Amino acid sequence: MQDGRAPILYIRLRKQVRLPPGRPVLLGHVAQVIVDPEYEQAVRTIELMRPGAGEQFVLVDMLAIVNAVRQRYPDMEIECYGEPHALIELAGTARVRQRRALLPIVLILLFIGSGLTIMNFHADVSMLEVHRKLYKLITGVDNPHPLILQVPYSLGLGAGMMIFFNRVFKKKLNEEPDPLEVEMYLYQENVRHYLVTEEYSRMNDSEGGRGR
């Protein structure tokens, strides 16, 4: 801080943060901050809120942060970049591990389910008839069960899905995001957007209640 000018606090809120429940939320948890070194430690540990027990998501709004910082340093200037709010997910590691146990069941579900759907699809579009016809068109011979066409077809089925999803087992074919990752991102963004809106309307409700 030089000759009496107000210190400036630069803040960029993180979009989404996962914290263990039952502890107060500090500014350093939810944001990247740049400030003169003498303030840094104190600013990072400014307490923003104490989430109530049983809450799974809480929203920290930029205004709440301005308020908390002002209480401690009334003349500090605050510059905010990025999102005006951070969504905090309160979850311990135990719950995450618990869900992990479901993985084998889900894998079996998907394995059998997708096998069934492909059989349904084949029946739906009379794939056997089409294969017979295709075999006839190519070789000029009738064959009631053209397995030489159908076994490569089945393997190609898997190859096509792999190509679409851009991966061969654990290795990715290249750096581009695959459609599933994009879809996953969009889905998470939508959920996050919904939660933020929901938390805001809850905040407004409780403030309105206090005003009346």
Partner 1 sequence: MTEWLGIALVIVTGLAGGLAVGGGFVAFIVVLDIIPRLAQITHSGKRIAWLEASVICGVIYWTLADFNDWSWYAYPPGTAVVGLFCGIFVGMLAAALTEVLNVLPILAKRLRLFNALKWLLLAMVLGKICGSLFDWLVYQSI
Residues that bind partner 1 (CB under 8 A): 95-96, 99-100, 102-103, 106-108, 110-119, 121-122, 128, 131, 133-141, 143, 145-167, 169-170, 173, 176, 179-180, 183-184, 187-188, 191
DSSP alpha helix (H) spans, 36-172: 37-44, 62-72, 93-100, 103-124, 127-139, 147-165
> In degrees rounded to 5, what are phi and psi of residue 70?
-60, -40
Tell me the closest approach of the beta carbon of residue 110 to partner 1, in angstroms: 4
CB of 26 closer than 8 Å to CB of 49: no
The CB-of-177 to partner 1 minimum distance in angstroms stands at 10
Shortest distance (Å) from residue 108 CB to partner 1? 8
Residue that the structure tokens 């079996």 belong to: 108
Minimum separation from the CB atom of position 180 to partner 1 (A): 6
Minimum separation from the CB atom of position 87 to partner 1 (A): 15
> Which is closer to partner 1, CB of 55 or CB of 176?
176
Considering the complex, state which of residue 190 and residue 204 has its C-beta at the smaller distance from partner 1: 190
Cβ-based nearer residue to partner 1, 53 or 94: 94
Given the complex with partner 1, which of 144 and 208 has the nearer CB atom?
A: 144
Phi, psi torsion values for 162, nearest 5 degrees = -60, -45
Closer to partner 1 by Cβ: residue 41 or 143: 143
Residues 212, 209: Cα–Cα separation, whole Å:
6
CB-count burial class (<10 Å; 0-12, 13-18, 19+) for 128: middle
The residue assigned the tokens 């290795």 is 171
